[in-house]
Structure 1
Amino acid sequence: MKLFGKMFFSLIIIVTVIFSIFGGIFIKLSFDNSLSRELSRKQNENQMFVYSFEASASMLSSDTEYIQKNDIEKIIDSVKRSMGESQIGITIVNQKEKAIYTDSKIGKNIKIKDLKDNNFGYLIFKNNGSYYLETMSKMTIESGTYYISIVSSINEVYNDINEMMKNYRVILGIALVVTCILAYVFSKKITRPIEKLSDTVSQMAKGQYDTRAKIKTDGEVGDLVNSFNIMADRLEKNIEELEDTARRQEDFTAAFAHELKTPLTSIIGYSDMMRSMDLEKEEISEYSNYIFLQGKRLEKLSFTLMDLISLDKQKIEFNRISTEKMFNDIEKTVEQMLREHNIRFKMSVEPAVIVGNEDLLKSLFMNIIDNGRKAISGQGIIALKAIKTEKGYTVFIQDNGCGMEKSEIKKITEAFYMIDKSRARKEGGAGIGMSLCKKIVSIHNAKWSVRSKPGKGTIISIVFQEGQN
């Protein structure tokens, strides 16, 4: 059974039980109260009858036998007239419970032994579908001790209680109808947000991860909805990241296979020509050189991949590094290469000390400078500037090369991604350098940003925490 059904029927059952219990208690108390009042009235009536009978009997100057046989009916008739005809039957018995007078058609049911200490007793009984109250009191006159039993109808009390029961059933029926309506509305109000949330979960289970619970409510359900939406946002983000990772892995595999295929095809082709054809010495030298260059390219590719993989696994040692000395070493290394390509290198370094691995940092900056070289056609300038800023020690590397679109910036750190593949391969690149750079930046807990405009060039800034890792 769903939550709505459980709440709906639970509320109906609870209200029914409460109404039944309290209604039953109320009717029982009302009945007991009515019966108690009727009993008290009949007791008083019985006592008044006894007093009236005693008074009338004392005024007679007859002997006992004569009173019992001749005058008793007159006395009872006189008392009845004075008290009204509420009695159904009157019985007078002596101490041996022998009836000396009776006009009751129902008969006497109460016994002398049932009387209490106050010489009064009563009995409620049912006869032919009617309810009766029989009261008995002790009476003492000159002729002896007697007991007067008076039977009266109390159908009115039971009729009242039966009428009350009928009215109660009607009220209970109306209350149940109202309860059903209110329980339905209340249950719907409580469960509707949960049902909507359940529908949202079902949609997400079917792969619609952008679905959100659009429910406006307060309390615990509102908190649950908000928490679910936060969880859904994180889940969608994680799934997107997983999908992006899977895509990049597929791209990496495809690109890696392609990078291997191109030089291997050339190596196999030229090797086959050298093996199967009679070639001139110059041709053999040319083909051998081409095979050698393609082999070196594969070697460089394998070494770069090894560096990229090993960075995640090996323990890297960090030391305090003088930036002035490190950048001077880099300048000496790249200056000749850049000069050969008619590229001018400008460097301005503010001395500082950072913590890191010097070999990795040199590889980082030389990779970025080399990428800048590949982006420049003809004469150009590559500038390196390192200064202290509020954010930390910041290194800017700028070139006036071909630049790139904004959409390309996020992709340049993906393995084997090349904006201009033909030029990159011509320059001996495989598209792994910037992936390696990103890894080195991450290892040093540094932050970097790339700004570029097509035809204007590129600026890469890297911020290190000065004097700490």
Structure 2
Amino acid sequence: MRFRLKMMLGMLCLLAVLFGVGGSLLIALSFESSLEREEESARESYRMLLDTLTVVGSMDAWSQSGDIPHMLEQLYDRSGSSWSALRFSTPGEVLYESGSTAIGFENDRAGVDADHGAVLMRSDGEGRWYLQLSGECAIDGEPHYLDALYDISPLYQTRSHQQAAFRAVFAVLIVLCALLAYGLSWLLTRPLSKLTRATREIASGNLSFRSNVRNDDEIGELSTSFDVMAQRVEGGVAEMKRSLERQERFMGGFAHEVKTPMTAIIGYADLIRSQALDPHEQIEAAGYIFSEGKRLENLSLKLLDIFVLGKNEVQLVASAPADLVADTVGSLKLAVAGRGRAILIEEDCEKGTCLLEPDLVQSLLLNLIDNACKAVGDRGAVKVTCTMLPDGCRLSVADDGAGIPAEALDHVSEAFYRVDASRSRAQGGSGLGLSLCAKIAELHQGSLSVRSEIGIGTCVTVDLRAGRG
């Protein structure tokens, strides 16, 4: 059963109990009050009648006439409908009786004397009710009894009419209350319906849905708490997605960065394995293999910190960017020559030092130069320049390749974006190169920009502004 129906039934039960008990009690109290007034009125009338008989019975002239029944008949006629029946009697004889009722007089005289009377409430079984008042008076020294029946049926009829009217009003009120209670419960539970919809939306995957209930009550507080919970859940899920993306970027970035060092390492190892080298050449080749292996190890840990752990700070040291450019160009020349490609790689660097993270900057240079070599194909020229700035350095890598379309320039630094997807896959690209370069520039408080013209070439400029060493 829906909650609003439960609320409606609860209100109806409450109304039925309160109105039913209250109305019945009110009718009962009104009836008792009316009955007491009627009984008091009957007592007064009876007392006047009995006092009259007592006074008249004490008069010698009257007692000599013995016409008390005649006087009672006159009193009965004058009383109109006050009395339904009268009876005047002695212990052994009925002297006078008038009126006709469906019930007779009760002859129980217990407790009735000159100072005490009796009042009995009697019914004829057909819906009529009477008060029987009995008393004793002395006439000529002999006890006489006066019994009177007072009709109180109108009180019971009035009560019956009141009860019938009460039942009709009660039925109407129940119907009206049912309608009003349902409308009120619908208004009160409407925010709960919104909350239910919100839970269904969130359960179906729509984590951005909110209940937006702004009531100033407990339901409003519940809605606010629910929306805060939903926002935190959405934030947690978004953070999980970002974490997964960072892990994917780390794997792709690591695979991307490991290619060039591994090419050099394999090349020198093959050189040592396949050719007879003098001791100096052997030491130089082994040293290069060792240095590239260590750089690859350090680079993997730094990429892990950047992409998976989300660290935005690196340890910067005073470094000479010209030396980093020279080392990078030297290793790439070997890799390019090993592939049989006629690519001229030139460098033009200004001497000086600035604050850098050497492994990351060398990874940046490797990406930019490698991208430039891919752009020129099997024949072309790549120029690397380094200019010192007051707060760092500027690195530029230019090529005379095919260029990048204008509509693609705004997306080249996005992760996994490829200008030419088919060629990038053929050359082993992962679409993470410039994205990683932009991140490295950001860690050095710098920026990355790309200029390109179709058929002329591309120039990528990176400003590293972490300070001078």
What residue in structure 1 maps to residue 218 of structure 2? 220
Question: SS in structure 1 opposite 2:67?
Answer: helix
**Would you say the 8 A contact 1:304–1:432 is kept in 2?**
no
1:2-21 → structure 2 map (5 Å cutoff): 2-21=2-21
Alpha-carbon shift at residue 209 of structure 1 (Å)? 1.7
Q: CA deviation at 1:9?
A: 1.0
Q: Could you say what secondary structure the match of 1:125 adopts?
A: strand
How many residues align? The count is 403
**Aligned counterparts of 1:144 and 1:378: Cα–Cα separation in 2:** 154
Rate the CA distance shift 1:437–1:339 in 2: closer, same or farther, 3 A: closer
1:48 alignment partner in structure 2? 48
Question: Is the Cα–Cα contact under 8 Å of residues 367 and 434 in structure 2 kept in the other structure?
Answer: no
Query: Quick one: which amino acid aligns to residue 74 of structure 2?
Result: S
Equivalent residue in structure 2 for 1:108, among 81, 92, 105: 105
Q: 2:188 aligns with which of 187, 190, 195?
A: 190
Instruction: Please give the residue correspondences for 1:64-75 in structure 2 after superposition, counting only pairs within 5 Å.
Output: 71-75=67-71
**TM-score of the two chains, using structure 1 as the length reference:** 0.67
Partner of 1:231: 229
Kindly indicate whether the alpha-carbon contact (under 8 Å) linking 1:124 and 1:134 is maintained by their aligned counterparts in 2: yes
Quote the residue 2:341 is aligned against: none
Q: C-alpha offsets along residues 311-368 of structure 1, whole Å, 9 cap, x if unaligned?
A: 99xxxxxxxx9x9xx54x657965865998634347698xxxxxxxxxxx75x36634
Distance 1:269 1:117 in 2: 145
Q: Residues 155, 379 of structure 1: CA spacing in aligned structure 2 closer, same or farther, 3 A cutoff? A: same
Whole-angstrom CA distance in 1 between matches of 2:434 and 2:291:
12
Q: Is the 8 A contact 1:348 1:384 kept in 2?
A: no
1:73–1:462 Cα change, 3 Å: farther
Matched letter for residue 7 of structure 1: M
The SS at the match of 1:210 is coil
Q: Does 1:27 align with 2:31?
A: no
| Cα separation, 1, equivalents of 2:462 and 2:114 | 118
Q: 2:203 matched to 1:205?
A: yes
1:123 to 94, 109, 120: 120
Matched residue, 1:315: none
Partners of 2:258 and 2:60 in 1: CA distance: 145
After TM superposition, give the deviation of residue 297 of structure 1 in Å.
5.1
TM-superposed deviation, 1:185: 0.6
Matched-pair contact (CA < 8 Å) for 1:305–1:432: no
TM score, norm. by length of structure 2 = 0.67
Alpha-carbon distance in 2 for matches of 1:79, 1:136: 17
* Structure 2 portions without partners, runs of 5+: 308-314, 331-345, 370-381, 399-403, 417-423, 453-459
Assess, with a 3 A threshold, how the Cα gap between structure 1 residues 148 and 268 changes in structure 2: closer, same or farther: farther
Pick the aligned partner of 1:305 from 296, 300, 307: 300
Deviation at 1:155, TM superposition (A): 1.2
> Could you say which residue in structure 1 is the equivalent of 2:338?
none
Aligned CA-pair RMSD: 5.1
Q: Is the 8 A contact 1:344 1:381 kept in 2?
A: yes
Is 1:380 the equivalent of 2:388? no
Q: Distance in 2 between matches of 1:188 and 1:117?
A: 72
Equivalent position amino acid for 2:85 in 1: G
Matched position secondary structure for 2:9 = helix
CA contact (8 A) 1:367 1:437 kept: no
- CA 1:368–1:60 in 2, change beyond 3 Å: closer, same or farther? farther
CA shift for structure 1 position 74: 1.1
Question: Is 1:371 matched with 2:364?
Answer: yes
Cα pair 1:259 1:430 within 8 Å, conserved = no
Q: CA distance change for structure 1 residues 338 and 242 in 2, over 3 Å: closer, same or farther?
A: closer
Does structure 1 conserve the Cα–Cα contact (< 8 Å) formed by 2:322 and 2:351? no
* CA shift for structure 1 position 408: 5.6
* Residue-by-residue CA offset, 1:442-468 (whole Å, 9 max, x unaligned): xxxxx95645444562345569xxxxx
Residue 195 of structure 1 deviates from its aligned partner by 0.9
Query: Which residue does 2:86 correspond to in 1?
Result: 90
Match of 1:457 among 449, 454, 461: 461
Q: 1 CA distance for matches of 2:303 and 2:95? A: 127
Distance in 1 (CA, whole Å) between partners of 2:184 and 2:272 is: 89
The residue matched to 1:381 in structure 2 has which SS?
strand
8 Å contact 2:257–2:363 — kept in the other structure?
no
CA separation in 2, counterparts of 1:459 and 1:450? 5
Residue 384 of structure 1 and its aligned partner are, at CA, apart by: 4.8
CA–CA separation in structure 2 for the residues paired with 1:259 and 1:372: 11
Could you tell me how far apart the structure 2 residues matched to 1:2 and 1:228 are?
A: 21
CA distance in 1, matches of 2:224, 2:262: 56
Counterparts of 2:448 and 2:112, CA distance in 1: 113
SS of residue paired to 2:119? strand
| Distance change >3 Å, CA 112–CA 263, structure 1 → 2 | farther
User: What is the aligned partner in structure 1 of residue 131 from structure 2?
Assistant: 133
1:117/1:168 CA distance change after superposition, 3 Å: farther
Deviation of 1:436 after TM superposition, in Å, equals 8.4
Aligned residues of 2:441 and 2:462 also touching (Cα < 8 A): no
Where in structure 2 are the equivalents of 1:389-408 lying within 5 Å?
398-401=394-397, 407=411
Structure 1 residue 18, shift from structure 2 partner: 1.5
Paired with 1:260 and 1:408, the residues of 2 have a C-alpha distance of 21
- 1:107-141 per-residue CA deviation (whole Å, 9 max, x = no partner) reads 33385556699734422222222222222344344
- Give deviations 1:360-394, integer Å, cap 9, x for gaps: x75x36634762686475142344544xxxxxxxx
Give 1:420-459 correspondences, 5 Å limit: 448=445, 450=447, 452-454=449-451, 457-459=461-463
Distance in 1, Cα, partners of 2:220 & 2:113? 69
Kept in 2: contact 1:398–1:458 (CA 8 A)? yes
CA apart distance, 1:77: 0.3
Residues 20 and 190 of structure 1, relative CA distance in 2, 3 Å threshold:
same
Percentage of identical aligned residues: 21
Which residue does 2:349 correspond to in 1? 344
Structure 1 residue 52: deviation in Å? 2.9
Residues 11, 181 of structure 2: 8 Å contact kept:
yes
Q: Which one-letter code corresponds to 2:106 in the other structure?
A: N
Q: Which amino acid aligns with 1:157?
A: L
Preserved contact between residue 345 and residue 383 of structure 1 (Cα < 8 Å): yes
CA contact (8 A) 1:372 1:382 kept: no
Q: Are the equivalent residues in 2 in contact too, given 1:330–1:366 (CA < 8 A)? A: no
Q: CA deviation at 1:242?
A: 1.0
Equivalent AA in structure 1 for residue 349 of structure 2? R
